Amino acid sequence: HSSIGTEHILLGLTREEEGVAAKVLTNLGAGLNKVRSAVEFIVGHGERPGTGETGLKITTKIYSNILPTIRKDSHTPLTTFETSDSV
């Protein structure tokens, strides 16, 4: 497939074995192999990297737009208004 979505973020977090997300998922019985299998079952198996043009899903665009806000002031929760403004 030719898009990057939240499923790819989940896979990336799971692959980072020393990260908190991977440790939590593994402790819950959802290690990398299970997560990868589940994503492939739901989304399907995409083309090999470099074989197609990559597009971004709207959710990925939203995440990339709100990350600077989160980093700037991690003590203030994001509101719906702030996240919808980022689109």
DSSP state of 27: H
Closest CA to 62 of 4, 1, 14: 4
Q: What is the pLDDT of residue 40?
A: 85
How many domains, the chain?
A: 2
**Which residues contact residue 78 at a Cβ distance below 8 angstroms, ignoring those fewer than 6 apart?**
66, 69, 70
Query: Residue 37 sits in a domain of what CATH number?
Result: 1.10.1780.10
3-state secondary structure of 51: coil
54 membership: H or E segment, kind and range: none
State pLDDT tens for residues 1-45: 566 788 888 899 999 989 998 999 899 888 899 988 888 888 777
Distance CA 13, CA 22 (A): 6
- Residue 5's identity, in one-letter code, is G
- pTM (2 decimals)? 0.50
| Whether residue 67 sits in one domain with residue 48 | no
- Considering the domain architecture, whether residues 80 and 44 belong to the same structural domain is answered as no
Parent domain of 51:
1-56
